[in-house]
Copies of this chain bind each other. A is one copy, B any other.
Amino acid sequence: MRREINWQKFLAPASVALVGVTSRTGAESFNILENMLNSGYRARYYPVNPRVTEILGLKAYRSVLELPETPDLAVIAVPRDAVVPVVRECVAKGIDSLIVITQGFADADARGAELQAELVEVARAGGARIIGPNTLGVVNNFVNLHTSFVPFMTRCLPIGIICQSGIFLSGGVYFTGGVGIAIDVGNAADVHFDEVLEYLGQDPRLRVIALHMEGLRDGQAFLRVADRVSREKPVLVFKTGRSPAGAHAAASHSGSLAGEDEIYEAAFRRCGLIRVRNVEEMYALSKTFATYESPSGRRVAVITFTGGGGIAVLDALSDHGLEMAAFSEATVRELQSYFPAWMEVKNPLDIWPAAMAHGYPAVYRRALRQVLADPNVDAVLCVVGGNLPPEYDPLCVADVVKEEARACPHKPVLAWVFGAAHHEYAVRVEEDNVVVAYRSPDLAALALARLYEYRHRSRDRGAAVIAEPTDVCREDAVRLPAACRDGGGEDAAVVALRLLECYGLPLAPYRIAGSTAEVEVAAAAVGYPVVLKALSPDFTHKSDVGAVVLNIGGPEDLRRAVEAVRLNVAGRLPEARLTAWLVQRYCPGGVELLVGAKRDPVFGPVILCGLGGIYTEVWREVSFALPPLDCEAVEEMLRRTRAWPLLSGARGRAPANLGAVTDAVLRVSRLMQEHPEVAELDINPLRVTPEGALVLDARLVLK
């Protein structure tokens, strides 16, 4: 059991030991003490460095054991082989909050991984908690504290950052515009995302939390916390390491579809995180959530002084599902009174023709104020151009935009700032944190859309009660995988069918025939037309070796089919043994779906859906979701697939029985939760018609 973190000691320590701090100062000295002193944080500092007696005017100690008190926090930056002994001393001294800056642990070689494990063990045993190793530590801009060994400029904003790389801590001004509290969990050997997120979620000074994530260890623990926190405040996540890099080279059939990143994507969706795709989105959304209240609708007015710019904004708003506000009659009348007669006053509002006559900043202010007062307008995007630095620009409207925005806090006023002096303009526009300056209309529109969506998100996401299926034969189910694994003669496909049957999934009628003779009996029992499939321990993709014959109309055709399969298999896989035959009722028509599941090392069971049959392989498009699922979550997952228009009754077709599909998916989800020995399970196809759903084929992989 890990001791609870004492955040006060990490983020506002009264006393700090700096173990391994250098006596050099200035450029390229990487002196943490010097940086902490420069940034203005007041504490009792204890440099620990056996080679000197004094650093920056403070007495240096040979070891933490010699310190006159037990400091709140130790910041450790000794070579990697010295880290564990230092941590032992810290624990002996009673220090329970440690930041290990040193790199070369699990981020490096096998020796490093061993050292990291030892580090955690020593700390746990001693009741201490560690941030790091391989970290820049923490930033607390509310008290001017940071533990970075490189100096940096920062800016206090109501934004929390949790990251796995120091650049997001020291570069906060670039990545998020500023930061209140930042924690670099580094290798996250001990303190991980979940605990930090829980803490920052509770801090009322933070309006938004931005995560930079390279990977999680315990996905489910994270999801529990993230789900809770994201209901209270927006949580952004920049997940890197998306590209496959060959990690899943040997993945099996549906494994190869389930790229890791898509599972992270499903997990983020599950717990309401807002994913950003790149550093520019991270910046735009962090500042947006830190600055604005959510708009009450998606009707946007655009104030522009360039028609061409207005069109670019229109494109961007449309891309992100926002609407162009239609000005009220009163607004149109007021505007038209000082716009030229030849110009139709409409949104986007190009103020230039009026500005030429009545003065630019004056018209900008008047028009912006009128538009903000219009009840048909929920938010305003201002096109602001700066080709001269604001202080030299007689046409500067930066202050106009800020002032009008401040006067109307419940309607976000965003600015697309462009022009040769856009940087200086953006600084001016953002000065008082009432307006965000975006580098492009696309980023502005994206940000506004996310702001709106966060407020109007599904309130009961994931909270629905999930009905427990009562018709599951769990006792039978438990035995089945074992039968398969123990080589009890059962084909995995048959075990899969039986397991699904136990969980109450509707199967096309089938029989297993041990011999050719039994095949005809089986066919008569299930009823013609039938499908014949050869079972073998030597192949899994039956179609590929010609071991499947569809639509067999009678006994005559059935005998021919048996012979054909024998010949096909003998031709393609001469060594393959045919151990039995699966005879199924042939059920054509309907929409063929893939309903699958796999077990992810980070998140546990993952459910996937997509078009089935050949399309699964041909297009490789599936959507993912993490259990537990409810009906709404299943429908959302189906909506994200290409199968959706087919299922929902496009172009006058009868809609498929969605209830039956949902039921099947929920049962698979339940099965995966109750059978940890199942590594992968695919139903392909699940045949769906207006009447119902039928499992036609299934595949099972055990751990």
Contact = CB atoms under 8 A, between A and B. Distances in A.
Nearest to A312: B240
Nearest to A416: B279
Contacts of A353: 103-104
A245 interface: yes
Contact of A419 (B174, B214, B240, B651): B174
11 contacts: A150-B387, A151-B387, A151-B388, A165-B311, A170-B385, A171-B418, A173-B420, A175-B418, A212-B308, A279-B442, A423-B423
Contacts of A244: 318
A440 B174 contact: no
Contacts of A465: none
Contact of A388 (B152, B441, B619, B645): B152
A556 interface: no
A422 B80 CA distance: 32
Contacts of A645: 618-619
A166 interface: yes
A689 to B, nearest CB: 15
A575 interface: no
A395 interface: yes
The bracket for how many chain A residues form the interface is: 35 or more
A356 interface: yes
Contacts of A212: 308
Interface stretch (A105-113, A367-375, A508-516, A625-633): A105-113
Contacts of A155: 420
Given A240-B311, A614-B653, 15 more contacts: A28-B394, A112-B342, A152-B420, A153-B387, A166-B306, A168-B308, A171-B418, A172-B420, A214-B311, A242-B315, A242-B319, A277-B442, A279-B418, A439-B439, A618-B651
B419 A152 contact: yes
Contact of A165 (B103, B241, B308, B619): B308
Nearest to A154: B420
A680 to B, nearest CB: 19
Given A306-B165, A312-B240, A342-B104, A439 B544 contact: no
A355 B312 CA distance: 45
Interface in A507-532: none
B171 A27 contact: no
A388 to B, nearest CB: 6
A30 interface: yes
Contact of A344 (B109, B278, B307): B109
Nearest to A317: B243
A100 to B, nearest CB: 15
Contacts of A702: none
A108 to B, nearest CB: 4
A342 to B, nearest CB: 4
Interface in A108-161: 108-109, 111-112, 150-155
A342 B388 contact: no
Nearest to A650: B618
A107 B419 CA distance: 23
Contacts of A421: 153
A80 B312 contact: no
Contacts of A314: 241, 243, 245
A407 interface: no
Given A108-B342, A344-B109, A418 B652 contact: no
